[in-house]
Amino acid sequence: MTTSDPIALVDHLFRKQAGQMIATLTRTLGSRHLALAEDAVQDALVTAMQQWPFRGVPDNPEAWLFQVARNRALDRLRHGKMAADKEPAIKRELAAIESPSDAPMLRGELPPVEDDQLGLLFLTCHPSLAPDARVALALKLVGGFSVGEIARAYLSQESAIAQRLVRAKRALRDEQISFGMPDPADLPARLDSVLDALYLMFNEGYAATSGDQMIRDDVAAEAIRLARMIAMHPAITAPRAFALVALMLLHAARFPARVDSEGTLFLLREQDRGKWDQRLIAEGMRALDRASAGDRITTFHLEAGIAACHAAAPSWEATDWTQIVELYDELLALTHSPVVAMNRAVAVSRVEGALSGLAALDAIDNLAALDRYPLLPAIQAELWREAGDADRAIACYRAALGLARSGPEQRWLTSRLSLLV
Amino acid sequence: MPKFVLLLRDAGRFDPNMSPAEMQAIVQRYIAWRAKVQQNGRAITGHKLHDKQGRVLNGAGGAMKITDGPYAEAREVMGGLFVIEASSYDEVVELTRDCPHLDFGSIEIREVQPT
């Protein structure tokens, strides 16, 4: 290995392998040994970090890591067995994990990782956990993200994420939730629990525009990867999973146009549509086609439909706003969400004019829920400006500035305000 | 071609809760540096030293003293050694100047005396 060392590792090798190894070890050992699997995998990665710089990267890094993780798990099990009692079950586990056929050293002999990852995803997204706990646990265990990275992606405190993870793992253990795909009878409800978590994983990262952009893009990419894996799995075949994939891809296609290198924010209306990722749009449209196979329309279908209208439009002005208003009407009927109602009002203003949009905003049920939301006064400001009422527009921009959470939001609002004062 | 031993010590500045991505980034920096040494036509081999404490033996004055070391407290996460074949100290120093290990600790370079 002196002359032909690789110059670069595969992108995200450690992160991907962490999730796969935890999944495979948890399948082998059972979900009650989840913490042991996690520790063994962390040990294996640390060992690689210590040894590869000196020895060079092994020919098959994935198998090397898995072998070390497996041995570390075995050490920990043996140690635990001495400390606790001599359970026959543990002996069987030891035998299973020690058998030579279970010691993959060649790439082709590695375990079927996708099924294992799905098994772990169903465990970490169990309905008994709160949605935000599912998101954190899935990112940590399936995605290979650290507590610090999860906290940065969601602009939270590390201690809050760490505590959420501890509670979630304790709940899984106390309720003896098992690893693996659910029974067919439970699949619809369990699937909803996973899809809701993936939606949140994607959206919460996507929504924020301040802080660590790179980690948020990674989190969004992980949500897409997991949603694709669910949608494509032969045992699942759920149109709503394809709808979720479609909505993620159609939003992700616009990522490159949202913020420039200076961190300036571009709203949909101002984005350079030439920067949209046409490959993702095409894949999103195909996923939306497959989502229409069922007869049930979910919020994912409607949101993907709205995103598809935008993706297909050559410009903000030439967008099919009538169709978008219809989709928002259906979405509002399903969700009763004030945020949906607010976005619907924007679409109404494109069809019927700024004053109709403002009236639609005033008519939102539970408008008070949006009190701390800078987008509401920002939209009102834009509509008053369009309607020719500069004074009201200025007042609304100032109100929005008072609520803005991030640098890019503040810069955008300040620049809009400076056009009027 | 003269051989040089590089002794890498670290000052225990590693965060034990590093993420997989952060660990990979560290490995990546070292292997990129190894590749650069090789691209300069220089052979390099290495050994990781165990991160448990070593022993320092001192026989001065007739009474043997054995201490844990060289660092009594810090765990040397990235302690190890490289052997590089190069033409001179100057060349090895030049090759080692951008070794990522320097962000974590020190590197002592010694030429192996030919027999």
* CA A240 vs CA A123, A191, A237, A339: distances in Å: 20, 10, 9, 22
Which pLDDT band, with edges at 50, 70 and 90, does A2 fall under?
A: very low
Identify from A2, A14, A59 which residue to disrupt to test chain B contact, counting B C-beta atoms within 10 A and taking the largest count.
A14
Count how many pairs of residues, chain A against chain B, have C-beta atoms within 8 Å. 98
The CA distance from A9 to A12, in Å, is 8
Residue A44: half-sphere exposure toward Cβ, Cα within 13 Å = 31
In B, which residues are within 8 Å of A218 by CB distance? 21
What integer pLDDT is reported at residue A362 of this predicted model? 94
| Peptide bond preceding A338 in cis form (omega within 30 of 0) | no
Please indicate if any CB of chain B lies within 8 Å of the CB of A388.
no
What integer pLDDT is reported at residue A113 of this predicted model? 63
What ipTM, to 2 d.p.? 0.91
- Whether A144 and B21 lie within 8 Å, measured CB to CB: yes
What integer pLDDT is reported at residue A119 of this predicted model? 94
User: CA of B75 to nearest chain A CA: how many angstroms apart?
Assistant: 12
Cβ burial, residue A52 (10 Å; 0-12/13-18/19+): buried
Give the residue-averaged pLDDT of A10-38.
92
Give the residue-averaged pLDDT of A229-238.
90
- Whether B18 and A13 lie within 8 Å, measured CB to CB: no
Q: What share of chain A in percent tops pLDDT 70?
A: 89
Q: Which of A45, A50, A51 sits opposite B20 (nearest CB)?
A: A45
Which pLDDT band, with edges at 50, 70 and 90, does A185 fall under?
A: very high
- CA–chain centroid gap for A370, Å, is 24
Q: Which is more confident, A343 or B74? A: A343
For residue A103, count other CB atoms closer than 10 A to its CB. Answer: 14
Residues 18-57 of A with CB under 8 A from B: 18, 45-46, 48-57
Structure tokens at A252: 């992700």
Whether the pLDDT of residue A47 is over 90: the answer is yes
Residue B66: half-sphere exposure toward Cβ, Cα within 13 Å = 3
Q: Does domain B3-111 have CATH number 3.40.50.720?
A: no
Indicate if the alpha-carbon torsion angle A332, A335, A340, A341 is positive or negative: positive
Residue with tokens 């106390």: A174
List chain B domain ranges.
3-111
Residue of A nearest to B50 (CA): A50
Please indicate if any CB of chain B lies within 8 Å of the CB of A263.
no
CA dihedral B16, B20, B25, B30 (to 10 degrees): 70
Which pLDDT band, with edges at 50, 70 and 90, does A232 fall under?
A: very high
Residues 199-258 of A with CB under 8 A from B: 218
For chain A, give the mean pLDDT: 88
What integer pLDDT is reported at residue A103 of this predicted model? 44
CA dihedral A206, A208, A212, A218 (to 10 degrees): -10
Please indicate if any CB of chain A lies within 8 Å of the CB of B77.
yes
Q: Which is more confident, A89 or A139? A: A139
Supply φ then ψ for residue B111, to 5 degrees. -80, 135
Closest CA to A122 of A184, A215, A76, A190: A190
Q: Which of B26, B35, B81 sits opposite A49 (nearest CB)?
A: B26
In B, which residues are within 8 Å of A141 by CB distance? none
In B, which residues are within 8 Å of A55 by CB distance? 46-48
What integer pLDDT is reported at residue A3 of this predicted model? 46
The CA distance from A51 to A55, in Å, is 6
> What is the DSSP secondary structure assignment for residue B108, as one 8-state letter?
E
**What are the residues whose beta carbons fall under 8 Å from the beta carbon of A273, sequence distance 6 or more?**
A257, A314, A315
Over the stretch A96-133, which tens digit does the pLDDT of each residue have? 554 434 444 444 445 566 788 999 999 999 999 999 99
Give the residue-averaged pLDDT of A210-239.
88
For residue A346, count other CB atoms closer than 10 A to its CB. Answer: 21
Counting as low any pLDDT under 50, the low residues of chain B are none
Over the stretch A270-325, which tens digit does the pLDDT of each residue have? 899 999 999 999 999 999 999 999 888 999 999 999 999 999 999 999 999 999 99
Q: What share of chain A in percent tops pLDDT 90?
A: 64
In A, which residues are within 8 Å of B85 by CB distance? none
User: CA of B25 to nearest chain A CA: how many angstroms apart?
Assistant: 9
